[in-house]
Structure 1
Amino acid sequence: MRLVWQLVAVVAVAAVGGQGMAAVEGNAWLTLAIGLLTAVLSVLVYRWVVAWSEGRPVTELAREGAGAALGRGTLIGVALFSAVMTNLFTSGYYDVHGRASLTGAIGLIGFMAAAAVTEEVMYRGVLFRIAEERMGTWIALVLTGLLFGLSHLLNPNATVWGALAIAVEAGSMLTGAYVATRNLWVPIGLHFGWNYAEAGIFSTEVSGNDTARGLLDSTTSGPELITGGEFGPEASVYSVMFGVLATLVFMWLARRRGHLVPLRRRAARAQAATTLSR
């Protein structure tokens, strides 16, 4: 039941926040305010419902060190997506025509903060964390990453390839960030940094959504496999490549730090064998 209660609580906040931002669409300052409020409420509700349903300190969203972890994640996300766009630019598939909208970029801070926090507490904080307890790290990573990618099939301009690309580059990468650090602040920052760079800086489509224009007035054109087409650069092979590389680094760190959880049945058999040998 803890899975049900936790999902209901965080989904409710995400739904209300989403409706609020839809109601003020076009107003950058109200979008900023409602988005940040949604992000804060998501953290508070997650802390409350997990502490209530599991009876433990919510260490994965501890206040201590939150700012530094959030900052690190954001910088990684911006750097990774900037690497994607650098490759598109040098290949001649991304053109910058000048500046676009500062107010649009400001509003996108709230929009992307709300999206990053609500999705991370939902997918990594609730679904992956509880699935990992039952299935082990690797199986839970694959299943929840696939679910995360397939959920984007509901987006405008969605394609099967785009959903699979997100499952690999985002679902796996963000889960890897959580496993490596065992806190949600880093994947939240990484998610925000990636999405904000995508829309708020480079002004490209985000998972098929044509959001407000960010800092740069730009256009993307070229082969769909390279640029992502109407779905946006998240469906680009460059995004998949950098996402896979980041996932490998995070999982290497997780293994080095002893953060991987084995499949429960294997762990039980190993423990039983050790007991019998004694």
Structure 2
Amino acid sequence: MDDLQTARPGLVRRIVAFPLTLLIIEFFGVAIAASAASFGLLKIVTQGTPGYFLGGLAVAVFAILIYLAARRWIEWRGNDELPLEAFGREVPLGLLIGAALFTLMTGIVALLGGFSVERVNGLGALWAMLAMAVTSGTIEELLFRGILLRHIEAMLGTWAALAITSALFGLAHLSNPGASLFAAFAIAMEAGILLGAAYLWKRRLWIPIGIHAAWNFTQGWVFSVPVSGGKAPEGLLVTTREGPDWLTGGAFGLEASVIAMLVATAAGLFLLVRVVRQGGIRPPMWVKR
């Protein structure tokens, strides 16, 4: 009996190990560390250069290391979400899925008369777009899938976690230039469900990181479309968008198109079916597993 009492974690340890506590500590820890690293990058590296992309890659790696350190030293868990042995097969798969989905969606919009390619522009803002894709894809997936979805799932179950994180992901884009309520709803549906399902599929982060990075890079550099609002970047192709906002996405970009929402959400639901069939849906913490 004495040995069992000695082995039982203390009150402080049990409080820290509770999913809500872990969520708060890890979310703000990774967010603050990544923001500080990104701020430092802007101070020491010239934007639009190969060094800027390498700096962005370093920021992404730094965020991953902070995340893994939190899992190791706060959660006492091993690295089962970002194993190096899975990197070579899962990141390319994610990149392929993200690029293919955005290209498919853009092609449908073009067939409906809302998008056209004028000419090839050249390299354009290649290095800046690569840096943006790597940092946004990595950091946002660590925060929203690795931390928020995982810990909310531990408390409320898979379905509630997917719904809450999808809504939060959409709301997080409301402050972007050109955002609207429909744009936030579209992001919640297409990205929240797709990326959440991609994480639940393998219970690892490499595939959603790849999807997220390729989606942003394809729209920003390949098709020169605004990435979640703002000014259209100078990409590989000179393109134009014409037509109603439901088709073109308006000022927010093609992400806010109904076509994008349907294509990406359908892909997310396809992955969710796989998750259900492989028994990947978990109940709330008050239900015995």
When normalised by structure 1's length, the TM-score is 0.92
| Number of the residue aligned with 1:12 | 32
Shift of 1:176: 0.5
| Number of the residue aligned with 1:129 | 150
| Number of the residue aligned with 1:84 | 105
Shift of 1:95: 1.6
Shift of 1:211: 5.1
Residues 1:73 and 2:97 are matched in the alignment: no
**Mind listing any 5+ residue stretches in structure 2 that lack a counterpart?**
1-20
| Number of the residue aligned with 1:3 | 23
For 2:232 and 2:46, how far apart are their aligned partners in 1?
10
Shift of 1:82: 0.3
Identical columns (%):
35
Query: What one-letter code is carried by the residue in structure 2 that aligns with 1:83?
Result: L
Query: What one-letter code is carried by the residue in structure 1 that aligns with 2:36?
Result: V
1:119 to 135, 140, 144: 140
Please say if residues 28 and 108 of structure 1, whose CA atoms lie closer than 8 Å, have aligned partners that are also in contact: no
The Cα offsets for residues 227-269 of structure 1, whole Å up to 9 and x where unpaired, read as: 100000000001110121111111111112111112233x23x
For 1:44 and 1:67, how far apart are their aligned partners in 2?
18
Please say if residues 226 and 233 of structure 2, whose CA atoms lie closer than 8 Å, have aligned partners that are also in contact: no
| Number of the residue aligned with 1:32 | 53
Structure 1 residues 55-70: aligned runs within 5 Å: 55-70=76-91
For 2:103 and 2:220, how far apart are their aligned partners in 1?
12
For 1:212 and 1:18, how far apart are their aligned partners in 2?
20
Residues 1:254 and 2:275 are matched in the alignment: yes
Shift of 1:97: 1.4
Shift of 1:205: 0.6
1:94 to 115, 118, 130: 115
Aligned length: 268
| Number of the residue aligned with 2:258 | 237
For 1:56 and 1:42, how far apart are their aligned partners in 2?
17
The Cα offsets for residues 152-207 of structure 1, whole Å up to 9 and x where unpaired, read as: 01111111110110000001110010011110000000101111111011110111
Query: What one-letter code is carried by the residue in structure 2 that aligns with 1:247?
Result: G
User: RMSD between aligned alpha carbons?
Assistant: 1.6
Please say if residues 93 and 210 of structure 2, whose CA atoms lie closer than 8 Å, have aligned partners that are also in contact: yes
When normalised by structure 2's length, the TM-score is 0.88
2:125 to 96, 100, 104: 104
More helix by share: 1
Shift of 1:66: 1.2
Deviates more, 1:93-102 or 1:234-243: 93-102
Please say if residues 162 and 234 of structure 1, whose CA atoms lie closer than 8 Å, have aligned partners that are also in contact: yes
Structure 1 residues 176-215: aligned runs within 5 Å: 176-210=197-231, 212-215=233-236
Shift of 1:103: 4.5
Report the secondary structure of 2:74's partner residue: helix
Report the secondary structure of 1:95's partner residue: strand
Please say if residues 20 and 34 of structure 1, whose CA atoms lie closer than 8 Å, have aligned partners that are also in contact: no
For 1:9 and 1:26, how far apart are their aligned partners in 2?
26
**Over 3 Å off, 4+ runs:** 20-26
For 2:39 and 2:171, how far apart are their aligned partners in 1?
22
Report the secondary structure of 1:61's partner residue: coil
Please say if residues 174 and 191 of structure 1, whose CA atoms lie closer than 8 Å, have aligned partners that are also in contact: yes
